[in-house]
Amino acid sequence: MSQYFQIHPQNPQLRLIKQAAQIIHGGGVVAVPTDSCYALVCHLDDKAAVERLRRIRGIDEKHHLALLCRDLSEIGVYARVDNRQFRLLKLGTPGPFTFILEATRVVPRRLSHPSRKTIGLRVPETPIVEALMRELEQPLLSSTLILPGDEEPLNDPEAIQERIGKQLDLVIDGGACSMAMTTVVDLTGDEPELVRVGRGDPATLGL
């Protein structure tokens, strides 16, 4: 059974953030609250953890995972961003938007879409996740916590612990969050393409 940390959503306890970061650094898969819904996260460079996250979600390598980045400059390390794309990113970050961009060579090949060499990236506006990334000094790999056969994401940390606690290393209880997933925008074409409407208002981006 996974560990269960109650962390204040606005003022995360540093002691618990440090412990959570150690679990992730050690290969753990962790459930965290975000500014959209709960997500599963793991270390970017841990192949076994990434594969375990995909198994829990019931998804293959063609399904985009998202990199949670600390800021716009970090997005620029992992994705190719031109001036047009940068303007849209600036409008939607931080916030509940996931942007699909062309991956740079810094991104491990197993994390980008196998045929398109693209990756989803976002900058969440969530103190708990922000604190975790500061402690780890790098992005987190993430996926919406929606289980095979379910139509909606899991939103209650106690329910997460009850349903999949045995498959996780840690559940972070930061209170209930939205049931809405992020709004996904593909920026790899000539014009932005709205892939999924979620919590982020497309009008924020002029879409």
Count of other CB atoms within 10 angstroms of residue 134: 12
Q: What is the mean pLDDT of residues 51-55?
A: 95
> Residue 63's pLDDT is what?
82
Q: Is the pTM of this model over 0.85?
A: yes
Does residue 111 have a pLDDT over 80? no
Does residue 84 have a pLDDT over 90? yes
Instruction: Give 19: exposed, middle or buried? Use CB within 10 Å, 0-12, 13-18, 19+.
Output: middle
Does residue 112 have a pLDDT over 80? no
Cα 37 from Cα 35, distance rounded (Å): 6
The conformational region for residue 61 under phi > 0 = left, psi -120 to 50 = alpha, else beta, is alpha
Burial track 28-46 (b if 16+ CB lie within 10 A, e otherwise) = bbbbbbbbbbbbbbbbbeb
Residue 184: name the closest of 111, 133, 122, 91 by CA. Answer: 122
Q: 39 - beta bridge partners?
A: 32, 144
> Residue 183's pLDDT is what?
95
pLDDT in tens, 29-40: 999 999 999 999
Among the ranges given (16-20, 164-168, 174-178), the one the predictor scored with the smallest mean pLDDT: 174-178
- Tracing tokens 């919590």 back to the chain, one arrives at 199
| pLDDT top residue among 79 and 105 | 79
Angle between helices 14-25 and 127-136 (to 10 degrees): 60
Q: 175 - beta bridge partners?
A: none
- Tracing tokens 């965290």 back to the chain, one arrives at 32
Mean pLDDT for the chain? Answer: 92
Q: What is the mean pLDDT of residues 101-106?
A: 89
Task: Give all domains of the chain, ordered by start, each with its CATH number.
Answer: 3-200 (3.90.870.10)
Percent of all residues in the chain with a pLDDT value above 90, rounded to a whole number: 79
CB under 8 Å to 127, separation ≥6 — which residues? 9, 10, 11, 12
CA distances from 23 to 6, 18, 31 (A): 15, 9, 12
Percent of all residues in the chain with a pLDDT value above 70, rounded to a whole number: 96
> Residue 64's pLDDT is what?
78
What confidence tier does 65 reach under pLDDT thresholds 50, 70, 90?
Answer: confident
pLDDT in tens, 116-140: 688 899 999 999 999 999 999 999 9
